[in-house]
Amino acid sequence: MSDLLERLQAIVGPDHVVSGEALEEYTHDATFLESPLEAAVLPGSTEEVAAVVKLCAETGTSLTTRGAGSGLVGGPVPLGRGIVLGMERFRHLEIDAANLMAVAGAGVVTGDLDAAAAEHGLMYPPDPASLAISTIGGNVACNSGGPHCLKYGLTADYVVGLTVVLADGSVLNLGGKLRKRSSGYRLMALFVGSEGTLGIVTEVIVKLIPRPRHQATAMVGYDTIEAAAEAVRTVLQSGHFPAALELINREALELIRDHLPAGFKSGHEAVLLIEQDGNDQEQVLLQLAEMVELMGGVDNRVAQSGAERDGIWRARRQFGHILMALRKNVFSEDIAVPISKIPEMVHRFHELGLKNGVSLPTVAHAGDGNLHPAFLFDDDQRHLISPLAAQIFRDAVELGGTISAEHGLGALKRDFAILEHGSEAIGWWRRLKDVFDPQGLLNPHKVFPEQPADDHFLDRQPGWGKKLASGRDRSEVSA
């Protein structure tokens, strides 16, 4: 081990190799999952990453790449021990306004990328709730989404170029500053969403779009969560296309009630947050008003100023922060179903929580069917959570959905992948893995099923027996 540390220090410099007690930060992500490791190395260039990877290949050392550690499925947890490759020094950022592109190091914070684009009247739309902390490299690894992906699309819809270090240390340069290309295989698509199991992304080129000059936002309250879910389907089938359409259930409203607009009631069973944007202010306001009327509800509040709009969004984004600050155990989930199945899925997990006496504060990117139920429970209810989460996965797949819409599979969901994708598809995943990483050193024990999916998948994970919110500041967790 001392020899490995010395060789790593020779590559990146002694100040950029972490060992000893300082490694605790690299043992976990935003879940309970944790694992010891040998060292963390913080390279500052693609060349240094390539040299580190070559050393790992030579010594048979597993390598787990880490962005901000805000993930919710154990993706950057070093379950193979070995070393963690931290990407925080990759912060270079270029806004190429002439070509409507951004070139960003993998460690650039997503919110910073969008803020830099805004200075040029442009926008990077994918906006996970963790955008103030999550990195563009991590977003690429998980194909992250967010509230405005309803209208604008996911991370994969914006990636047009990648620099990737492969498992043998070779460097692959893919794509470029082009908005369309029709030559050859689309290798980039393999790396977006592969969770660091096929290669290490060091630089990303993403498309930018003109920033809309006007937004209009409203909140609509409902007496039942099923009525809110039906309203989602109604507005989307009406021909309108909002920029965002979010659902917040009663338990979640209780948590964020101090952040709701003045005069808006917090006692609804559910609330929909809807936004429209565009360049014609009058048209934007008219479209929003038409959608709010179609949605019905028993209470509504249209933001009357930019400050009030920001307040509404702040309330929505506070959910994850408040959830993780509670003195209770929290386990957040991420599934999606076809839009037509939203009412049924909402009903199923709502009933599941009531039947088992477990609180399920829930927010959702309801416009694209992406639901985020969060189990809030006491220690003596811990035994319930694994079977309840497993049931939600099964329900989502039964309704034609996915067990992970934007968080990835990581370690926590890997064994359920076969329910959604089938053994034939996963067989081809393994063939691709063997081609790109024949030694199996890149982010081991992630994505690929390792045992049959069952109701005890959480019980087998290291750290599940501990208090989930103990000691760590996880207030930036995505939802």
Here the CATH number for the domain that contains residue 204 is 3.30.465.10
CATH number of the domain to which 42 belongs: 3.30.43.10
Contact by Cβ (8 Å): 312, 273: yes
**pLDDT above 70 as % of the chain:** 96
pLDDT digits (tens, 9 = 90+) for 94-105: 999 999 999 999
Tell me the CB-side half-sphere exposure of residue 422, using CA atoms within 13 A.
2
* Per-residue tokens: 415: 């064994």
Q: 320 lies in a domain?
A: no
* Per-residue tokens: 144: 């992250």
Q: In this structure, are 81 and 199 located in the same domain?
A: no
Average pLDDT of every residue of the chain: 92
Please give the tally of structural domains in the chain. Answer: 4
**What would the mean pLDDT of 318-334 be, rounded to a whole number?**
82
pLDDT confidence band for 111 (50 / 70 / 90): very high
pLDDT digits (tens, 9 = 90+) for 211-247: 999 999 999 999 998 899 899 989 999 999 999 999 9
pLDDT confidence band for 350 (50 / 70 / 90): confident
pLDDT of residue 257: 84
pLDDT of residue 410: 97
pLDDT confidence band for 41 (50 / 70 / 90): very high
Q: In this structure, are 471 and 361 located in the same domain?
A: yes
Q: In this structure, are 62 and 119 located in the same domain?
A: no
pLDDT of residue 470: 38
Q: In this structure, are 250 and 275 located in the same domain?
A: yes
- Domain of 306, in residue numbers: 212-315
| C-alpha dihedral (384, 390, 396, 398), degrees to nearest 10 | -120
Range list of H helices, 272-357: 281-295, 306-325, 342-356
Q: In this structure, are 206 and 240 located in the same domain?
A: no
Q: 321 lies in a domain?
A: no
Q: Which of 283, 315, 347 is the last residue of a domain?
A: 315
Q: Which residues pair with 273 in a beta bridge?
A: 219, 246
pLDDT of residue 468: 55
> Which is more confidently placed, 304 or 59?
59
Using CA atoms, how far apart are residues 248 and 461, in angstroms rounded to an integer? 30
List phi, psi (to 5°) of 409.
-95, -40
pLDDT of residue 472: 44
Q: In this structure, are 406 and 477 located in the same domain?
A: yes
